[in-house]
């Protein structure tokens, strides 16, 4: 609670300080001072809390070209297309053909490349593996299945003490059956 109050106070102090500096820049423009003179006075008056050189020159130019408003224009922020509807579209599209690339999905669904990549990696927890997009973590069903198999093996070991002597060990191998569509996929 205390941290939130402190952050809110700091943000409003910064906003007030920036408003004050915008007033000072407009005042310097009305006095006919140059952009460099204005910037130097801002550095002298506000020290390390002064607006950056770029911000001072941008404001100076706007006020010298006739801008009257000192208030910041409202920022709409970045539009996002990472909605539930789009996430569901991407999920359904990927499960229909898991050999798709991010570029193919963006073209087909008419979404931003970054948005599709974020949906796949962050929201759906998927990653690219051997030309397929697969889940990073096991699903609940897969975890339950592993648990059941392990419990079954424990029961077999307890009932038949020679069970482990009859086993053949080997190295694990993954074999995927798919038709490669590009030369790179063919090399894999």
Domain holding 127: CATH number? 1.10.10.10
Q: How confident is the model at residue 107 (pLDDT cuts 50, 70, 90)?
A: confident
* Range of the structural domain that residue 54 is part of: 2-64
11 and 1 in contact (C-beta within 8 Å)? no
Amino acid 151: pLDDT: 92
Same domain, 98 and 46: no
% of the chain at pLDDT higher than 90: 9
The pLDDT confidence band at residue 183, using thresholds 50, 70 and 90, is low
Asked if 133 contacts 127 with a C-beta cutoff of 8 angstroms, the reply is yes
* C-beta of residue 188 within 8 angstroms of C-beta of residue 180: yes
Query: Are 24 and 88 in a shared domain?
Result: no
Closest CA to 125 of 155, 153, 94, 160: 94
- Across 8-17, 156-165, 168-177, which has the greatest mean pLDDT? 156-165
CA dist 112 → 36, 107, 128 (Å): 41, 9, 18
Whether 3 shows a pLDDT value over 50: the answer reads: no
At residue 4, does pLDDT exceed 50?
no
Residue 57 lies in a domain: yes
User: Across residues 26-46, what is the average pLDDT?
Assistant: 90
Task: Give the burial class of 161: count Cβ atoms within 10 A of its Cβ; 0-12 exposed, 13-18 middle, 19 or more buried.
Answer: exposed
Q: What is the CB neighbour count within 10 angstroms for residue 121? A: 15
Percent of the chain beyond pLDDT 70?
73
Distances (CA, A) of 1 to 11, 12, 13, 40, 121: 16, 17, 19, 39, 33
Q: Tell me how many domains the chain contains.
A: 2
58 and 129 belong to one structural domain? no
Q: What is the mean pLDDT of residues 35-51?
A: 89
Say whether both 101 and 60 belong to one domain. Answer: no
Q: Is pLDDT larger for residue 106 or for residue 3?
A: 106
What is the token pair recorded at 51? 């607006």
* Strand ranges for the chain from DSSP E: 126-129, 132-135
Q: What is the pLDDT of residue 179?
A: 62
Which pLDDT band holds residue 172 (cuts at 50, 70, 90)? low
- pLDDT band for 40, please (50, 70, 90 cuts): very high
* Statement: the pTM of the whole predicted model exceeds 0.85: no
pLDDT band at 181 (very low <50, low <70, confident <90, very high): low
| pLDDT of amino acid 14 | 74
Average pLDDT, the chain: 78
Same-domain status, 50 and 107: no
Q: Are residues 81 and 111 in contact, defined by beta-carbon separation less than 8 angstroms?
A: yes
């Amino acid at each position: 609670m205390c941290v939130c109050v402190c952050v809110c106070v700091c943000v409003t102090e910064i906003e007030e300080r920036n408003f004050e500096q915008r007033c000072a820049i407009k005042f310097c423009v009305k006095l006919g001072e140059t952009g460099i003179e204005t910037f130097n006075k801002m550095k002298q008056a506000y020290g390390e809390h002064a607006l950056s050189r770029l911000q001072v020159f941008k404001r100076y130019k706007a006020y010298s070209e006739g801008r009257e408003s000192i208030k910041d224009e409202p920022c709409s922020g970045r539009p996002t297309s990472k909605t539930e509807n789009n996430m569901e579209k991407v999920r359904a599209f990927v499960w229909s053909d898991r050999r798709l690339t991010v570029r193919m999905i963006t073209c087909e669904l008419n979404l931003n490349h970054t948005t599709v990549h974020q949906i796949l990696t962050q929201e759906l927890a998927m990653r690219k593996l051997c030309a397929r997009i697969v889940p990073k973590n096991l699903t609940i069903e897969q975890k339950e299945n592993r648990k059941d198999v392990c419990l079954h093996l424990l029961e077999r070991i307890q009932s038949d003490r020679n069970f482990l002597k009859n086993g053949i060990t080997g190295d694990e191998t993954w074999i995927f059956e798919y038709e490669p569509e590009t030369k790179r996929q063919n090399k894999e």
